Structure 1
Amino acid sequence: MQRVCVCPELSLIINDIGDITPLANLTNLTNLLLSHNDIADITPLAGLTNLTRLELYNNQIADVTPLASLTNLNWLGLGANPLSDRTCPVQPETVCKF
């Protein structure tokens, strides 16, 4: 039997995580904290449309366009990443914290 998280919040801060593919199925999440890891590819987060808060500070993220589908976000922390473009992928732009 496979375990599934039905919790609304998950904090994985400072865990040396590079691959977040396993998080793609956690669609019940509303708050996800992934700061201070080694994440570069955030594509697996594109389907987590229930997220209202996403913190990705201090990772290796250059492209944030996969987050454009996360229209319920009211906080998106992106500071201290090597972003290729500092345009907020969601509206209003005040959601993004660079």
Structure 2
Amino acid sequence: MDDGKCTFVTDEWGGFFRPLPENRHFFGKDLTFPIEGTNSDIRHRLARFKRKSKVTSRSLDMIERSLLLFHFFQDYPQNLEPLIHSFLSFFS
């Protein structure tokens, strides 16, 4: 948005309606479904968000870099092609 304010997309749980500004609050399961799908993909692929007992990172920098790397390959699969042979060489 041009005014620097964010918008809020939530499901229709009643607790969201009181604190969120009405003019910037969009709600509905149809709006949150794609967001939850992306969150699920991130949790599935990045183990540090899946289990607290193992594979965790306390460094915010490492979490941010992991998310950037995830999106680098998730959003642009062509970025993976030049690296495939290097990755597969581990198994030969």
Structure possessing the higher radius of gyration over alpha carbons:
2
TM-score by length of 2: 0.20
Which structure: greater strand fraction?
1
Identify the structure with bigger relative contact order (alpha carbons < 8 Å, sequence gap 6+).
1
